[in-house]
Structure 1
Amino acid sequence: MRRFENEGEQITMKVVVHAGVAHSDDGRLLDLLKANTQVLGQWNVAYRGFSTYKNYFRTALDSFENRQSIQRAREEFLKQIPNYGNFDRLILSTPRFIGEIETAIMDGQFYPLAGQRIACLVEIFEGFEVELFIGLRNPGSFIPRALMSQPESQRQRILRQTDLSCLSWLAMIDNIRDLAPNVNFTVWSNEDTPLVWGDIARAMAGLPENAVLSEEYSLLSSLVSGTGKQEIQNLMQKKSAPCDPSLRSELSRIFDEYAMPDAIEEELDLEGWSDEIVSAFTELYEQDLAMLEAMPDIKFLRP
Structure 2
Amino acid sequence: MKVVYHLGVHCTDERRLVTCLRANAEALAAKGLIVPDPEVYRPMLRNVVNAMKGKPSTPETEETILDAVMVQDEAERIVFSNDAFLCVRSWVLGRGTLYVAAGDKVAGLVNLLPSHEAEIALAIRNPATFLPALFQASKNASFDDFLGGADPLGLSWADVIGRIRAANPTVPITLWCDEDTPLIWPEVLRAVAGAPADLALEGENDLLAGIMSAEGMARFDAYLNNHPGLTASQRRRIVAAFLDKYALADQIEMELDLPNWDEALIEELSERYDDDLEEIAAMPGVTVLTP
Q: Within the alignment, does 1:57 sit opposite 2:41 as a pair?
A: no
Q: Which residue of 2 aligns with 1:104?
A: 92
2:109 aligns with one of 121, 130, 140? 121
TM (norm. structure 1) is 0.84
Report which stretch shifted further, 43-52 or 103-112: 43-52
Root-mean-square deviation over aligned CA pairs:
2.7
Give the 3 Å change call, closer, same or farther, for CA 178–251 of structure 1 in structure 2: same
* Number of residue pairs the alignment of both structures matches: 290
State the SS of the aligned residue for 1:48: coil
Q: CA deviation at 1:60?
A: 4.2
Give the aligned partner of residue 189 of structure 2: 201
One-letter code aligned to 2:128: G
**Paired residues for 1:68-217 under 5 Å:** 74=62, 76-80=64-68, 83-152=71-140, 156=144, 159-217=147-205
Bigger shift: residues 20-29 or 224-233 = 224-233
- Whichever residue aligns with residue 82 of structure 2, its letter is T
Per the normalisation by structure 2, the TM-score is 0.88
Q: CA deviation at 1:289?
A: 1.8
- Quick one: which amino acid aligns to residue 118 of structure 2? V
Distance 2:209 2:147 in 1: 38
Q: Is residue 22 from structure 1 mapped to residue 18 from structure 2 by the alignment? A: no
- In the superposition, relative to structure 1, how do residues 233 and 159 fare at CA in structure 2: closer, same or farther (>3 Å)? closer
Given the alignment of the two structures, is residue 263 of structure 1 paired with residue 251 of structure 2, yes or no? Answer: yes
- Rounded Cα–Cα distance in structure 2 between residues aligned with 1:280 and 1:83: 48
2:93 aligned partner, one-letter code: I
> C-alpha separation between the residues in 2 aligned to 1:243 and 1:49?
31
Which segment is superposed worse, 259-268 or 147-156?
147-156
3-state secondary structure, aligned to 1:194: helix
1:57–1:73 contact (8 Å) kept in structure 2 = no
Structure 1 position 295, deviation (Å): 3.2
Structure 2 residues without counterparts, runs of 5 or longer = none
Structure with higher RCO (Cα < 8 A, 6+ apart): 2
Tell me the equivalent position of 1:222: 210
Per-residue deviation, 1:95 = 0.9
Residue 66 to residue 296, structure 1, CA distance change in 2 (3 Å): closer
Instruction: Identify, as 1 or 2, the structure richer in strand.
Output: 1
